[in-house]
């Protein structure tokens, strides 16, 4: 076996090992049903909120649709652990059970027909053992301006009483309000072939 083939095999093995290691360091979670009985424990807390996304603006034609869900990539700040929450709604309430820690949202993505939109809306929050953290009501709006796409976010700390879907959770948990508040961030697009456009 010559040195070139040995080097190629070593590179391939290194890449496979790194990908397996990286995949093993990320935990993937989905939101819980708001109708289920959910209780935190000594190692976990609940994170609740409500999202309302406007993707095409007020003059949306009947054939245009907006993303139905989004993905949040979180980092636990003390241990550097990564958590991905998939299937978060873009219209409605959510409840997620997370391990205790201090979290920062590193990336928010929306899947589209031709690829995935990414943005960062800097948000930090704490998850207390056996507690409940409210991220409030998020009003997100996509805007196109000078060949660039943006997400503008307004966060209201209180969950409106009209969010009846969360009333069962809120009736059994005392939720403290989070201090994080998205404002405006540029959207980047990654096509299906992995190319980025900003």
- Arithmetic mean of pLDDT, 103-118: 90
Beta partners for 151? Answer: 142, 185
- Arithmetic mean of pLDDT, 73-82: 93
Q: pLDDT-based confidence at 20, cuts 50/70/90?
A: very low
Q: pLDDT-based confidence at 60, cuts 50/70/90?
A: low
How confident is the prediction for the chain on average, in pLDDT?
A: 79
Q: For residue 12, what pLDDT is reported? A: 52
Q: For residue 89, what pLDDT is reported? A: 94
The span from the CA of 91 to the CA of 73, in Å, is: 19
Q: For residue 179, what pLDDT is reported? A: 56
Is the pLDDT at 198 greater than 60, yes or no?
Answer: no
pLDDT tens track for 116-148: 999 988 889 999 998 888 888 889 999 887 777
The overall pTM is greater than 0.85: no
Q: For residue 177, what pLDDT is reported? A: 76
The span from the CA of 166 to the CA of 163, in Å, is: 6
- Arithmetic mean of pLDDT, 156-182: 69
Q: pLDDT-based confidence at 18, cuts 50/70/90?
A: very low
User: Residue 21 to residues 16, 17, 39, 141: CA-CA distances in angstroms?
Assistant: 9, 6, 32, 36
- Nearest one of 20, 29, 188 to 94, comparing CA atoms: 29
Q: For residue 101, what pLDDT is reported? A: 95
What are the structural domain ranges in the chain? 27-197
Helices (H), the chain: 3-24, 167-172
């Amino acid at each position: 076996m010559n040195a070139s083939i040995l080097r190629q095999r070593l590179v391939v093995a290194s890449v496979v090992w790194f990908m397996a290691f990286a995949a093993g360091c990320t935990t993937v979670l989905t939101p819980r049903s708001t109708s289920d009985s959910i209780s935190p424990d000594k190692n976990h807390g609940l994170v609740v909120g409500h999202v309302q996304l406007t993707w095409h603006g007020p003059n949306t034609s009947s054939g245009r649709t907006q993303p139905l869900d989004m993905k949040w990539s979180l980092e636990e700040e003390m241990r550097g652990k990564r958590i991905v929450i998939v299937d978060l709604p873009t219209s409605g309430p959510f409840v997620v059970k997370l391990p205790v820690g201090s979290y920062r949202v590193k990336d928010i993505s929306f899947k589209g027909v031709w690829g995935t939109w990414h943005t960062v809306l800097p948000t930090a929050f704490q998850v207390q053992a056996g507690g409940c953290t409210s991220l409030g009501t998020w009003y997100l709006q996509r805007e196109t301006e000078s060949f660039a796409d943006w997400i503008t976010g307004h966060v209201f700390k209180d969950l409106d009483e009209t969010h009846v879907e969360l009333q069962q959770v809120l009736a059994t948990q005392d939720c403290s309000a989070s201090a994080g508040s998205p404002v405006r961030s540029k959207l980047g697009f990654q096509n299906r072939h992995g190319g980025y456009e900003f």
